[in-house]
């Protein structure tokens, strides 16, 4: 079995110092102009010094008109690179590698947000009585799809120019590339839909376009769902077929996660079907085991619930190459270093103790609590072990409204911005 602190050589020849990764979390720390600032530099320097061999940023948007939230960072052709260079330098301060996660939200855009809401088909987000929180999507034209492929490639090239070691292409959690993969959301009958190959075409074209624009030694990772956990959605059979395609493409690490805003399994994991102790904590491990049995063509990374060294080691013992950690590093940014020193340390983000059963609100509360810890780290303070979940959610929603106003003003003042019109 590979040790947590043994190096890993990726298919392109790059080397990870160890098998622990700070997985992506949406920091919501964009400064004015949707750019990184001193807060995110401070946060990533904390993680860099914490001992993980790989840091993956929260999602960076490839199109200023389409953001997952108003606090996310945007990297386009005219974005100044110096703030991104400082971010990359801070994230590499501990000697590890840093990848920028690049993303397009597709239809997962709030109804209070300016800009565009696009999807493979005009299938809206279904959250029951909360569905109004998301804008109805416009079906993308072939030209808009091709433009989006190019945007992914251009953002990746700019990330490389800024000093990042790689990018992770986000094709999970119900965002645009995940929407195209889903037979539930993608109802197209042209070359971008229909068969599993057609639905995977956009992801494949993005990977090819990115690889064509970056150096051979620049790392390319992909994040996909092990399952959407929705009836009729992307499932384990689709993953097996997708692996065959990805094996023919030039990628270096495949991360498995799961769920979407409609089924937030990655955030709220109550009721997991597999009751084995290891699977209860590494919640997507049963899906990874199925894929590992088929000898995946690229190294696998597993994220979701890993917070103890024993669990991380158990994941590697199953054949997974990298153990990804997220929320736990919002509380203990130096956890990998402490494990390397022999400590049996752990932490767990609390925040779901609300008198509500609605999964969407509980997921929103959990994310708000994680962001509060991240923001404390970004301000140079220590995370608090316990916080008021209800108060944190109220403050998070108020901050969201302020950021929406700031983002709207910036977008409307930009020559390429659109303050109205979902299809523009």
Does the residue 380 lie in any domain? yes
Identify the three-state secondary structure at position 377: helix
List, in sequence order, every residue forming a beta bridge with 257; answer none if it has no partner.
Answer: 225
> What CATH number does residue 326 fall under?
3.20.20.70
How many domains does the chain fold into?
1
Q: How far is CA 113 from CA 15, 272, 295, 363, 419, in A?
A: 40, 33, 43, 20, 9
Q: How far is CA 163 from the centre of its chain?
A: 20
Pairing of strands 97-103, 54-56: parallel
Contact 340, 51 (CB under 8 A): yes
Domain region containing 94: 19-412
- Does residue 12 sit within a domain? no
In a domain, 83, yes or no: yes
Q: Is 422 inside a domain boundary?
A: no
Confirm whether 13 is domain-assigned.
no
User: Is residue 386 included in any domain, yes or no?
Assistant: yes
Query: CA 285, 255, 239: angle at the middle one, nearest 5?
Result: 75
For 214-253, the three-class secondary structure string (H helix, E strand, C coil) is CCCCCEEEEEEECCCCCCCCCCHHHHHHHHHHHCCCCCCE
Contact between 202 and 192 (Cβ < 8 Å) = yes
Does residue 3 lie in a domain region? no
Structural contact between residues 256 and 221, judged by C-beta atoms closer than 8 angstroms: no
**pLDDT tens, residue by residue, 99-152:** 999 999 999 999 999 999 999 999 999 888 888 999 999 999 999 999 999 999
Length of the chain: 424
Q: Is residue 38 part of a domain?
A: yes
Distance CA 139, CA 106 (A): 10
The pLDDT tens digits along the chain (424 residues) read 469 999 999 999 999 999 999 999 999 999 999 999 999 999 999 999 999 999 999 999 999 999 999 999 999 999 999 999 999 999 999 999 999 999 999 999 999 999 999 999 999 998 888 889 999 999 999 999 999 999 999 999 999 999 999 999 999 999 999 999 999 999 999 999 999 899 999 999 999 999 999 999 999 999 998 766 767 677 777 787 788 888 889 999 999 887 777 765 555 454 344 445 555 566 677 777 777 777 677 899 998 888 999 999 999 999 999 999 998 999 999 999 999 999 888 876 654 454 455 677 777 888 888 899 999 999 999 877 778 888 888 898 999 999 999 999 999 987 564 433 344 4
- Could you tell me if 227 and 140 are in contact, meaning their C-beta atoms sit under 8 angstroms apart? no
């Amino acid at each position: 079995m590979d040790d947590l602190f043994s190096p890993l050589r990726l298919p392109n020849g790059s080397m990870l110092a160890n098998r622990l990764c700070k997985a992506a979390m949406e920091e919501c720390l964009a400064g004015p102009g949707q750019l990184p600032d001193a807060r995110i530099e401070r946060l990533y320097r904390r993680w860099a010094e914490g001992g993980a061999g790989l840091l993956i940023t929260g999602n960076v948007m490839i199109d200023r008109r389409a953001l997952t939230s108003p606090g996310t960072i945007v990297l386009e052709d005219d974005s100044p690179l110096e703030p991104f260079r400082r971010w990359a330098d801070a994230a590499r301060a501990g000697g590890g590698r840093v990848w920028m996660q690049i993303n397009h939200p597709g239809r997962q855009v709030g109804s209070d947000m300016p800009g565009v809401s696009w999807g493979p088909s005009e299938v809206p987000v279904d959250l029951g009585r909360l569905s109004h929180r998301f804008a109805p999507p416009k079906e993308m034209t072939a030209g808009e799809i091709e433009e989006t492929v190019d945007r992914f490639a251009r953002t990746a090239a700019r990330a490389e120019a800024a000093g990042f070691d790689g990018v992770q292409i986000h094709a999970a959690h119900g965002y645009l590339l995940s929407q195209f993969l889903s037979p539930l959301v993608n109802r197209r009958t042209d070359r971008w839909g229909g068969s599993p190959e057609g639905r995977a075409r956009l992801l494949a074209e993005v990977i090819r376009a990115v690889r064509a624009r970056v150096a051979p030694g620049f790392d390319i990772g992909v994040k996909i769902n092990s399952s959407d956990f929705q009836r009729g959605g992307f499932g384990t059979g689709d993953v097996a077929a997708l692996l065959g395609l990805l094996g023919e493409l030039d990628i270096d690490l495949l991360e498995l996660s799961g769920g979407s805003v409609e089924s937030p399994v990655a955030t709220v994991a109550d009721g997991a079907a597999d009751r084995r102790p290891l699977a209860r904590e590494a919640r997507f491990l049963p899906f990874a085991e199925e894929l590992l049995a088929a000898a995946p063509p690229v190294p696998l990374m597993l994220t979701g619930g890993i917070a103890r060294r024993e669990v991380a080691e158990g994941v590697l013992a199953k054949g997974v190459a990298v153990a990804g950690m997220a929320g736990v590093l919002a509380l203990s940014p130096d956890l990998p270093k402490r494990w390397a020193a022999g400590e049996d340390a752990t932490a767990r983000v609390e925040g779901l103790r609300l008198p509500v059963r609605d999964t969407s609100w509980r997921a929103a509360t959990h994310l708000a609590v994680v962001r509060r810890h991240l923001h404390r780290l970004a301000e140079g303070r220590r995370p608090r072990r316990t916080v008021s979940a209800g108060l944190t959610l109220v403050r998070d929603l108020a901050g969201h409204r302020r950021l929406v106003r700031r983002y709207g003003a910036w977008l409307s003042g930009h020559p390429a911005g659109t303050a109205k019109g979902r299809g523009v």
